[in-house]
């Protein structure tokens, strides 16, 4: 069994349910991100990519790449980006956005499962995944695959919601997550249930030290993390040596 929010479900059921969530919200995903974070997610993402130490010509795999926010920022820094996501609807939204912006060269789009990557060992200089790891059914398999497809010296970069350190902020954050977000989801995306799941999935996700340990178990070294906004969000990084 594995977690789907606060429920315990069969692994195959989680994959199906997560797929249904993101197919439902794909068209309003970017707008909802702006509303949910009051626009702060854009600052987080710019900081995340700016500190990945991307060099022109680096190959970067952006897992759970969704609507392309990270890919666009990495592309501007000169990376050749493969945007990968298990959800076709999310990829379609992202690719359409990039095509309209004239960003075609240096970007590839693939529908893949992060647990079974169709790439040779050592194919990439960087692997990124933002706000997607908690939706993966078997995180250990996905992390092992990220390690495998990185070249020696390559780095993984994970940005995910995490554990808030300040009790007062944590209480406010819980109220926002469980009282406001589902209502926003219903009003904007016509789907309160999916945003209830997203709030629950954040609470079920490993905290900062636990995720760091999962990275070490997958073979990564030089593992470190950085909290953003008091731990609402955290960036984890590790190297394949």
Query: What is the residue-wise DSSP string for 179-239?
Result: IIHHHHIIIIIS-HHHHHHHHHHHHHS--HHHHHHHHHHTT-EEEEEEEEGGGTEEEEEEE
What pairing do the DSSP bridges indicate for beta strands 233-239 and 221-228?
A: antiparallel
Query: Which of 70, 81, 79 lies closest to 159, judged by CA?
Result: 70
pLDDT for position 234:
98
Q: How far apart are CA 217 and CA 209, in angstroms?
A: 12
Indicate left, alpha or beta for 9 from its phi (over 0: left) and psi (-120 to 50: alpha): beta
pLDDT for position 210:
98
User: Residue 111 corresponds to which tokens in the numbers above?
Assistant: 């529908």
pLDDT for position 178:
96
pLDDT digits (tens, 9 = 90+) for 161-188: 999 999 999 999 999 999 999 999 999 9
Q: How far apart are CA 70 and CA 24, in angstroms?
A: 21
Confidence at 66, pLDDT banded by 50, 70, 90: confident
User: Residue 165 corresponds to which tokens in the numbers above?
Assistant: 């350190």
118, 193 Cβ separation under 8 angstroms: no
pLDDT for position 101:
93
pLDDT for position 143:
98
Task: For residues 33-60, give the mean pLDDT.
Answer: 96
pLDDT digits (tens, 9 = 90+) for 80-129: 999 999 999 999 999 999 999 999 999 999 999 999 999 999 999 999 99
Task: For residues 21-34, give the mean pLDDT.
Answer: 93
pTM of the model: 0.96
- Domains, the chain, ranges and CATH? 26-161+208-239 (3.40.50.150)
Q: Tell me what the pLDDT averaged over the chain comes to.
A: 96
Share of the chain above pLDDT 70, in %: 100
């Amino acid at each position: 069994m594995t977690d789907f929010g606060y429920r315990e479900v069969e692994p195959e059921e989680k994959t199906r349910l997560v797929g249904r969530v993101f197919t439902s919200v794909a068209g309003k995903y970017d707008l909802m991100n702006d509303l949910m974070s009051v626009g702060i997610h854009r600052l987080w993402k710019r900081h995340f990519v700016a500190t990945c130490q991307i060099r022109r010509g680096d190959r970067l795999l952006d897992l759970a790449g969704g609507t392309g926010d990270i890919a666009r920022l990495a592309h501007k820094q000169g990376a050749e980006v493969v945007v990968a996501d298990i959800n076709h609807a999310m990829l379609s939204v992202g690719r359409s956005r990039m095509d309209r912006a004239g960003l075609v060269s240096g970007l590839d789009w693939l529908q893949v499962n992060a647990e079974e990557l169709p790439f040779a060992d050592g194919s990439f200089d960087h692997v990124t995944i933002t706000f997607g790891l908690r939706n993966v059914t078997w995180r250990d398999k996905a992390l092992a695959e990220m390690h495998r497809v990185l070249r020696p010296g390559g780095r993984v970069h994970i940005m995910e919601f995490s554990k808030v350190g300040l009790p007062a902020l944590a209480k406010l954050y819980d109220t926002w997550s469980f009282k406001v977000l589902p209502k926003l989801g219903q009003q904007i995306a016509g789907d309160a249930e999916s945003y209830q799941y997203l709030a629950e999935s954040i609470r079920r996700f490993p905290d900062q030290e636990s995720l760091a340990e999962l990275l070490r178990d997958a073979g990564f070294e030089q593992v470190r993390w950085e909290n953003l906004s008091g731990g609402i969000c955290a960036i984890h990084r590790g190297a394949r040596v």
